[in-house]
């Protein structure tokens, strides 16, 4: 075989190797996604092994717009993407930004950005939104309310699997469990502003055309 033929053969072999590598990576990633439930991955405030360096652009908000996902999964993933944005933001009564936020302002921001739903500013007003929901019937996107000691009621957003997103007065924006002894003791009620299917439609559309 002459030098030209050898170079051509080597080039073909390298090209085939590169193509094989590109084809296998997405399959492996898809397989992992199919095998691992979302809550099994690492998120601040949740156990697991998801890469904490994942950029906001790569987070589940893109996956949440997939038509293949059922409504509760779409809503849950979109809310977890919001958790990635807000996680660690300190609590500040009256705060409305990443420098400090209170529980009702967080809920208001998340609903506006994720679902294009306009909620009132305060917990006292939010508790009158939508319809009452039994705790046993909670779905991702429902508002959960608590009456801890002190002057103020507390609100968070239910994520599914017994967890909710909220701005904790002691630890800032985080994910907590409803069955935690503290939150279980002061659980008050839940409200559903929109059905999960409607929230999911707003996630898919990015809220375009919604009030």
**22 has pLDDT over 90:** no
**190 has pLDDT over 60:** yes
pLDDT tier for residue 203 given thresholds of 50, 70 and 90: very high
Q: How high is the pLDDT of residue 50?
A: 32
**32 has pLDDT over 60:** no
Q: Check if the beta carbon of residue 152 is closer than 8 Å to that of residue 207.
A: no
**60 has pLDDT over 70:** no
Q: How high is the pLDDT of residue 165?
A: 98
Given the residues 7, 22, 109, 154, select the one marked as catalytic. Answer: 154
Name, of 20-34, 47-61, 192-206, the range with top average pLDDT.
Answer: 192-206
pLDDT in tens, 129-160: 999 999 999 999 999 999 999 999 999 999 99
Q: How high is the pLDDT of residue 1?
A: 53
pLDDT in tens, 68-109: 567 899 999 999 999 999 999 999 999 999 999 999 999 999
β-bridge mates for residue 172, sequence order: 168
Torsion of CA 41, 46, 52, 55, to 10 degrees: 80
Assign 145 to helix, strand or coil.
Answer: strand
Is 166 labeled as catalytic in the residue annotation?
A: yes
CB neighbours of residue 163 within 10 Å: 23
Q: How high is the pLDDT of residue 176?
A: 97
Q: Check if the beta carbon of residue 189 is closer than 8 Å to that of residue 127.
A: yes
Q: Check if the beta carbon of residue 139 is closer than 8 Å to that of residue 158.
A: yes
Q: What is the mean pLDDT of the chain?
A: 76
- The rounded distance, in Å, linking the Cα atoms of 82 and 103 is 14
Given the residues 22, 83, 103, 128, select the one marked as catalytic. Answer: 103
Q: How high is the pLDDT of residue 111?
A: 98
Is 128 labeled as catalytic in the residue annotation?
A: no
Q: How high is the pLDDT of residue 205?
A: 84
Taking the model in full, what pTM does it have? Answer: 0.68
Is 7 labeled as catalytic in the residue annotation?
A: no
């Amino acid at each position: 075989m002459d030098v030209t033929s050898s170079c051509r053969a080597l080039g073909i072999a390298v090209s085939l190797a590169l193509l094989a590598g590109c084809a296998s990576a997405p399959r492996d990633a898809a397989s992992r996604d199919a095998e691992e439930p979302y809550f099994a991955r690492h998120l601040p405030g949740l156990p697991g092994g998801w890469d904490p360096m994942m950029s906001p652009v790569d987070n589940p908000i893109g996956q949440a717009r997939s038509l293949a996902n059922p409504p509760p999964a779409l809503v849950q993933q979109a809310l977890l993407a919001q958790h990635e944005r807000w996680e660690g933001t300190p609590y500040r009564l009256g705060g409305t930004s990443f420098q400090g936020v209170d529980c009702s302002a967080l809920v208001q921001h998340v609903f506006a950005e994720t679902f294009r739903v306009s909620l009132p500013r305060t917990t006292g007003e939010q508790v009158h939104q939508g319809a009452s929901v039994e705790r046993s019937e909670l779905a991702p996107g429902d508002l959960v309310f608590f009456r801890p000691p002190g002057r103020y009621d507390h609100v968070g957003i239910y994520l599914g699997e017994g967890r909710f997103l909220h701005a904790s007065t002691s630890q800032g924006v985080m994910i907590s469990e409803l069955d935690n002894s503290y939150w279980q003791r002061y659980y008050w009620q839940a409200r559903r502003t929109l059905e999960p299917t409607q929230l999911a439609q707003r996630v898919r559309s990015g809220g375009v055309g919604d009030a």
